[in-house]
Amino acid sequence: MITKSSRIRKWVLTGMTLSLFVPLLAACNTDKGKDDPDNRRTLRIGTMYGSKSDETWFRQQFTDMFEFTHSNIDIEVVPAIDYSEMQFEDQSKQQEPVDQMAKLKEIMTGANPVDVMIINDLSMLGQLSNDNMLKQLDTLIKEDNMDINEFVPTVVEGIKEQGNGFLYALTPTFSPSALYYNKKIFTKAGVDFPTDGMSWDDVFNLATRLKSGTGKDSVFGFSFNQWGAGDNFWDLQNFIAPLQLRMFDDKGETMTVNTPQWQAVWERVVQLNKDRVTPKQEDMQYDEPMGDNYRYNPFQGRLFMNGKVAMTLGDYSMINDIQQLNDNSDKLKMEKLDWDVVTVPFHVGKEGIGGNIYLSQLAGINANAANPDDAWEFIKFMNGKDWAKLKARSTYEMSARKEFIKVRDGMSYNVEAFTKMKPAPVQNASLKDQNLLREKPNLNLINEMGSMIYSQVMQGNKTAKEGLALWEEKGNALLQKIKTNPKGQIEDAFNGINDNAGGGGISLEKRAIMEAAGVE
């Protein structure tokens, strides 16, 4: 017999079941709608540079696989700067400096903003996050149970530093560097191999012990790049990047280079070059064989590859060159390299910071995105394990996921050396500095002036102290010209630089000999 109470209990249970089932149906319907091919959506992805002519390459690198697995999402690629259109501008307009940040912000705002922004410059990430142009990803990462600890710590920390401790972008790959060394040179000199966690002082002391020979038989202890010469300004800037030495004040009106710290750095590098611990440009010259037996050698003039440099800085892709050399050593009549790597050296007081780490596929969600859900879906996919497994095949970049970082087949080296050091702070990366450089693009002339003077110092025409004093004097004069003419062409920007070469172009060493001989 069915009682009234039993009927009530049945209705209650039925109601409870339906109340649980309805949300489930709704969720299923929502998911179905989300993946329904008829529910087509467009995801707009912004890039710094691009054009319709090379969009195929970009899609192959970034979006084809995502579109294949998300058949109801169409990808639209939107370059901030279309260089295919720029070539048709008149000559005067082509020579005008392009405000990259302004162009980037144009596609991130307005009536039809991009949803995802792929950033190739770590400093731009910092500025966009400071300007509240990007959506913070930390909450989304937590909600989707993405374990950020599975990523290389230095990559995550490098991104967080640009976002005041928060993540505003993720990258599936990165390009790290390490200190490569030639085992044979160390063994022959009876010097212990370098190790991870060495300071620059440690490395330079080792390098001094490893130099040997003269002329064509010279072997150098260290070079700032794998090509050999260490007398260029670019190498110097990479070397001092962790120290964050400034060229001018935050107003761009006064030079700040004539200081003991600047002088110490210049003097150290100059002395290494003078003592033949590091090679000069002329040391890279080689006798090119001619005649019927001529064979192209891609490693000619590359001192480390030819066993002429004991240690050199190189990025991850340098392994490709070493492998190619060793595989073809018989044909090239070259000796195989017995090598390994350790971490990039650090400056005392800046432990753990090695510089020369590039994060160039940073994907973030535009704060103004019309389609933020699909934007996050794309970034998740781009930084997921499946995509990382494919990207781990790259011989030019490393996967940002730790589990896919492995020694290449058939090789043996200290692969962890590439993952231990944090990237150096980006020069002029602060919001104030970026705004200043946009307002006064002619400030780049100060850098160019420094390069010219540094070259004179490396050639021995000036001391480091003289060079920095000249840079300060002429730089201050140039800064005043830039103040009144921040963007236009400046006549005689480097007036007096070459005229001030010490001794009329005669090196300091020759001047000393002449003075000792009583020659005026």
pLDDT digits (tens, 9 = 90+) for 393-402: 888 899 999 9
**How far apart are alpha carbons 15 and 18 in whole angstroms?**
5
Output the average pLDDT for the chain: 85
Full DSSP string of 426-464: PTT-SHHHHHHHHH-GGGHHHHHHHHHHHHHHHTTSS-H
| Residue with token string 């007036």 | 495
The correct answer on CATH 3.40.50.300 for the domain covering 41-175+357-414 is no
The values of phi and psi at residue 424, to 5°, are -70, 150
Count of beta carbons in the 10 Å neighbourhood of residue 393: 8
Count of beta carbons in the 10 Å neighbourhood of residue 196: 15
Per-residue pLDDT at 286: 66
Residue 161 clears pLDDT 80, i.e. is over it: yes
Strand order in the sheet with 41-50: 73-82, 41-50, 116-119, 362-365
Q: Are the CB atoms for 311 and 180 separated by under 8 Å?
A: yes
**How far apart are alpha carbons 370 and 201 in whole angstroms?**
52
216 band by pLDDT with thresholds 50, 70 and 90: confident
Average pLDDT estimate for 187-205: 97
Residue 7 clears pLDDT 90, i.e. is over it: no
Give me the CATH topology for the region 177-342.
D-Maltodextrin-Binding Protein; domain 2 (3.40.190)
* SS3 assignment, position 219: strand
Query: Which amino acid type is present at position 166?
Result: F
Per-residue pLDDT at 37: 61
Residue 450 clears pLDDT 70, i.e. is over it: yes
**How far apart are alpha carbons 473 and 493 in whole angstroms?**
13
Higher pLDDT, 202 or 19: 202
**How far apart are alpha carbons 374 and 376 in whole angstroms?**
5
185 band by pLDDT with thresholds 50, 70 and 90: very high
Domain(s) labelled CATH 3.40.190.10 in the chain stretch across 41-175+357-414, 177-342
What is the Cβ-side half-sphere exposure of residue 125, based on CA atoms within 13 angstroms? 31
Per-residue pLDDT at 84: 72
Per-residue pLDDT at 19: 41
Count of beta carbons in the 10 Å neighbourhood of residue 217: 8
Per-residue pLDDT at 435: 79
Residue 34 clears pLDDT 60, i.e. is over it: no
The pTM of this model reads: 0.85
Per-residue pLDDT at 511: 43
Alpha-carbon 412 to chain mean position: 26
